[in-house]
């Protein structure tokens, strides 16, 4: 039985459904990712649990809808900002904590964004070590956001640099990743590599800017692809490629105004149209996942926790509701394997806005119904010709409201858990006019 693989989870920031070659991009060159899809499985109906980063990442770590764990929004905007009093509760169990207890070495490189107070940091949630940013790379002092404190680069729970040069940061991340993989080549490891790309501001090395056909955005996408090539090369050199499951995805839909594409989907980051929450997902595990496979079943990032738990031969928490499902049969391409997400719910903050069951998606506010298999772009409302489908989806939405709540109807939700909260929160950094910042203010 194939069990206990190394697991590398690569999560991009704001990468759109149509931004890489194997999902249809003709603007970005992504040979490593295209090869990954040819050697593994490309998921066409893979979703994040929210259309923005903080809730989607919290859901991915816990296997739960953000509304379940009280992290559907930040205090002031849709995501957490520096120095906020809320974050991922210490009572929640993360996929990293489960794998650590199963004997895995665990590391996060890159963006966390589930709270920046000590109680909320990844080192308090199952990760042995961390090197990266506590939140989005635009949350440092910049021309646009002079109110932010200096952007902190963290090692574990210590700020090691403020306002780092972002054009060099991804290569620093790669060095950290290679070192971690080499140090743990003879053990089992879980590496969560959370890119700062392609969130704005966009900074890439000159090499990628010179070759890009889509400005700074294209340079960032192609830098991501180069990182994947380097990871695969390292795994092959170390002889552990066949025992490593590599997953590539994005935390929410892309932002077309910055150069991204969600084609052929409608909508973008922040919305509950498909373009806000359906994202690329590729999985590769040589000798285990069949090559050149595709999966059209509904799957989500919440499924990682129960799936990784099974692969590590351990157990998911039994004292709480977990919304994700074990998708091992779908990953392996087993005949007859089907999605267990019946249905899937689309929330924006506290509001339930859509529900999907099979091929049908109902937008609750407008009453529009779409058949996503026939109309992936959500262009033609067919609600008047399918009253039975409408009735079924409305019943499912009502059950969800009772479970998770809905601000549109005032339903409180009976199975919600509180987020973490602290008194007297403090930002990780404060501006010092005498500090020799390498980048005094981002553009």
Calculate mean pLDDT across residues 380-404: 98
Q: Determine the pLDDT at residue 443.
A: 85
Name the catalytic one among 28, 64, 113, 400: 113
> Looking up tokens 């919440």, which residue turns up?
302
Calculate mean pLDDT across residues 250-271: 97
Q: Is 113 a catalytic residue?
A: yes
How far is 190 from 329, CA to CA, in rounded Å? 21
Distances (CA, A) of 367 to 273, 361, 383, 399, 407: 13, 10, 7, 17, 17
Cα distance between the two ends of the chain: 52
Percent of the chain whose pLDDT exceeds 70:
100
Calculate mean pLDDT across residues 286-314: 96
Q: Determine the pLDDT at residue 13.
A: 98
Q: Determine the pLDDT at residue 371.
A: 98
How far is 261 from 23, CA to CA, in rounded Å? 10
**In which residue ranges of the chain is CATH 3.40.720.10 found?**
6-331
Tell whether the model's pLDDT for residue 69 goes beyond 60: yes
Closest to 15 (Cα-Cα) out of 321, 262, 309: 262
Tell whether the model's pLDDT for residue 282 goes beyond 70: yes
How far is 277 from 252, CA to CA, in rounded Å? 5
Question: pLDDT per residue over 156-193, tens digit each?
Answer: 999 999 999 999 999 999 999 999 999 999 999 999 99
Counting DSSP H helices and E strands in the chain, the numbers are: 10, 18
pLDDT averaged over every residue in the chain: 97
Higher per-residue confidence, 144 vs 405? 405
Please state the CATH superfamily assignment of the domain spanning residues 6-331 in this structure: Alkaline Phosphatase, subunit A (3.40.720.10)
How far is 428 from 389, CA to CA, in rounded Å? 50
Q: Determine the pLDDT at residue 177.
A: 98
Residue 2 banded pLDDT, cuts 50, 70, 90: low
Tell whether the model's pLDDT for residue 1 goes beyond 70: no
Closest to 416 (Cα-Cα) out of 60, 94, 64: 64
Tell whether the model's pLDDT for residue 393 goes beyond 70: yes
How far is 346 from 213, CA to CA, in rounded Å? 34
Question: pLDDT per residue over 344-371, tens digit each?
Answer: 999 999 999 999 999 999 999 999 999 9
Q: Is 114 a catalytic residue?
A: no
Percent of the chain whose pLDDT exceeds 90:
98
How far is 82 from 73, CA to CA, in rounded Å? 14
Question: pLDDT per residue over 30-46, tens digit each?
Answer: 999 999 999 999 999 99
How far is 199 from 394, CA to CA, in rounded Å? 35
Does the 344-415 domain belong in CATH 3.30.1120.10? Answer: yes
Name the catalytic one among 12, 28, 53, 325: 53
How far is 121 from 134, CA to CA, in rounded Å? 8
Distances (CA, A) of 184 to 179, 188, 219, 244: 9, 7, 31, 12
Question: pLDDT per residue over 400-417, tens digit each?
Answer: 999 999 999 999 999 999
């Amino acid at each position: 039985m194939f069990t206990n693989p190394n697991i590398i989870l690569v999560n991009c920031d704001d990468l759109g459904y149509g931004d890489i070659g194997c999902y249809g991009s003709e603007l970005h060159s992504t040979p490593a990712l295209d090869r990954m899809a040819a050697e593994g499985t490309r998921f066409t109906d893979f979703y994040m649990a929210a259309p923005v980063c903080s809730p989607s990442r919290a859901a991915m770590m816990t296997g739960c809808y953000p509304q379940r764990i009280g992290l559907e929004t930040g205090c002031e905007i849709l995501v957490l900002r520096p120095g906020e009093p809320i974050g991922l509760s210490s009572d929640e169990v993360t996929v990293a904590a489960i794998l650590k207890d199963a004997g895995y070495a665990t590391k996060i490189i890159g963006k966390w964004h589930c709270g920046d107070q000590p109680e909320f940091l990844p080192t308090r949630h199952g990760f042995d070590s961390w090197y990266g940013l506590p939140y989005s790379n635009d949350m440092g002092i910049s021309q646009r956001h002079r109110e932010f404190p200096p952007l902190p680069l963290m090692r574990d729970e210590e700020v090691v640099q403020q306002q780092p040069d972002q054009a060099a940061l991804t290569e620093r991340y790669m060095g950290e990743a290679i070192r971690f993989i080499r140090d743990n080549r003879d053990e089992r490891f879980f590496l969560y590599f959370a890119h700062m790309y392609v969130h704005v501001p966009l900074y890439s090395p000159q090499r990628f800017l010179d070759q890009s056909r889509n400005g700074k955005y294209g340079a960032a996408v192609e830098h991501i692809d180069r990182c994947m090539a380097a990871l695969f090369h390292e795994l092959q050199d170390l002889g552990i490629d066949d025992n490593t499951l590599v997953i590539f995805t994005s935390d929410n839909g892309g932002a077309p105004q910055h150069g991204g594409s969600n084609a052929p989907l409608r909508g973008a980051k922040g919305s509950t149209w498909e373009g806000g929450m359906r994202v690329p997902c590729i999985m590769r595990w040589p000798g285990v996942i069949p090559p050149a496979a595709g999966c059209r079943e509904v799957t989500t990032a919440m499924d990682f926790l129960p799936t990784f738990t099974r692969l590590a031969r351990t157990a998911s928490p039994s004292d709480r509701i977990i919304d994700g499902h074990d998708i091992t049969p779908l990953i392996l391409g087993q005949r007859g394997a089907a999605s267990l997400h019946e249905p899937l719910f689309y929330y924006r903050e506290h509001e339930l806005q859509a529900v999907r069951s099979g091929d049908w998606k109902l937008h609750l506010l407008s009453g529009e119904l779409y058949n996503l298999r026939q109309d992936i772009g959500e262009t033609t409302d067919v609600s008047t010709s399918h009253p039975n489908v409408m009735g079924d989806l409305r019943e499912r939405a009502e059950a969800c409201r009772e479970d998770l709540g809905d601000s549109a109807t005032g339903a409180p939700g009976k199975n919600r858990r509180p987020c973490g909260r602290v008194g007297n929160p403090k930002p990780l950094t404060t501006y010092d006019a005498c500090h020799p910042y390498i980048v005094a203010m981002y553009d």
